[in-house]
Chain A
Amino acid sequence: MVKKIIMKSYLGLILLFLYLPIVVLIVFSFNKSKSRGNWSGFTLKWYKELFENSQIMDSLYTTLLLAILSSIIAVIIGTFAAIGIHNMKKFRKTMVMNLTYLPVLNPDIVTGVSLMIMFVFIGSIIGLKLGFITMLLAHITFNIPYVILSVLPRLRQMNKHMYEAALDLGATSVYAFRKVIIPEIMPGIISGFLMAFTLSIDDFVISYFTSGSGVSNLSITIYSMARTGVKPTINALSTIMFVSVLLLLILINIRSAREEKRRKQYDA
Chain B
Amino acid sequence: MKKHFIKLLASAVILSTTILAGCGASDSAGGNSGEKVTLKVYNWGDYIGEDVIEKFQKKYNIDVVYDTFSDNEVMHTKLSAGGSDYDVAIPSDYMIKRMIDEGMVNKLDFNNIPNYKYIDEKFKNLAFDPNNEYSVPYMWGTVGIIYNKTMVSDPVDSWNILWNEKYKKQVFMLDSQRDSIGITLKKLGYSLNTKNQDELEKAKQELIRQKELGIVQSYVGDEVKDKMIMGEAAFAVVWSGDAVFMKRENPDLEYVIPKEGSNLWVDSMVVLSTTKHQKEAEMFINFMCETDIAFANADYIGYSTPHTEAKKMMSPDLLGDIAAYPSDEQIANCEVFEDLAGSIKDYDRIWTEVSVN
Contact = CB atoms under 8 A, between A and B. Distances in A.
A57 B24 contact: yes
Interface in B17-59: 17-18, 21-22, 24-26, 28-30, 40, 42, 44-47
B157 interface: no
B25 A54 contact: yes
Given A129-B83, A130-B84, A64 B226 contact: no
Interface in A213-263: 213-216, 220-231, 244, 248, 251-252, 255, 259
A209 B78 CA distance: 6
Contact of B9 (A34, A220, A251, A259): A251
Interface in A35-75: 35-38, 51, 54-55, 57-58, 60-61, 64-65, 68
A229 B70 contact: no
A35 B225 contact: yes
A252 B25 CA distance: 29
The 6 A-B pairs with the shortest beta carbon distances in the complex, nearest first, are A224-B45, A57-B24, A224-B68, A54-B26, A130-B83, A214-B65
A113 B229 contact: no
Contact of A64 (B18, B70, B81, B302): B18
B2 interface: yes
B44 A57 contact: no
24 contacts: A33-B249, A35-B225, A38-B229, A38-B249, A57-B21, A60-B21, A61-B24, A64-B21, A116-B78, A116-B83, A120-B81, A129-B83, A131-B30, A209-B78, A213-B30, A213-B86, A214-B29, A214-B40, A215-B29, A226-B70, A227-B70, A228-B46, A228-B241, A248-B13
A231 B6 contact: no
A213 B22 contact: no
Nearest to B17: A64
Contacts of A68: 14, 18
Nearest to A231: B46
Contacts of B24: 51, 54, 57, 60-61
A119 B82 CA distance: 10
B249 A35 contact: yes
Interface residues of A, number: 52
B131 interface: no
A225 B45 contact: yes
B74 A252 contact: no
A61 B70 contact: no
Contacts of B78: 116, 208-209
A164 to B, nearest CB: 26
B110 interface: no
Contact of B85 (A55, A124, A134, A213): A213
A51 B23 CA distance: 10
Interface of A: 33-38, 51, 54-55, 57-58, 60-61, 64-65, 68, 113, 116-117, 119-120, 123-124, 129-131, 134, 208-209, 212-216, 220-231, 244, 248, 251-252, 255, 259
Contact of A227 (B6, B66, B71, B245): B71
Nearest to A128: B83
B221 interface: yes
Interface in B299-336: 301-302
B230 interface: yes
A213 B6 CA distance: 38
A116 B47 CA distance: 26
B25 A228 contact: no
B77 interface: yes
Contacts of A38: 229-230, 249-250
B74 to A, nearest CB: 7
B69 A213 contact: no
B14 A224 contact: no
Contacts of A55: 66, 68
Contacts of B221: 226
B37 to A, nearest CB: 14
Contacts of A134: 83
A229 B242 contact: yes
Nearest to A247: B13
Contacts of B5: 255
Given A34-B245, A37-B249, A228 B45 contact: yes
Given A37-B226, A221-B68, 14 more contacts: A35-B245, A35-B249, A37-B250, A38-B250, A57-B21, A68-B18, A119-B83, A120-B83, A208-B78, A213-B84, A222-B45, A225-B45, A227-B70, A228-B45
B348 interface: no
B225 A226 contact: no
Given A61-B21, A61-B22, A252-B6, A116 B222 contact: no
Nearest to A241: B17
A113 B82 CA distance: 12
Interface in B66-98: 66-71, 74, 77-78, 81-86
Contacts of A120: 81-83
Nearest to B5: A255
A244 B222 contact: no
B96 to A, nearest CB: 17
Contacts of A225: 45-46, 68
Contacts of B25: 54, 57-58, 60-61
Contacts of A64: 17-18, 21
A212 B67 CA distance: 9
B356 to A, nearest CB: 19
A124 to B, nearest CB: 8
B65 A213 contact: yes
A64 B40 CA distance: 24
B226 A36 contact: yes
Nearest to B30: A214
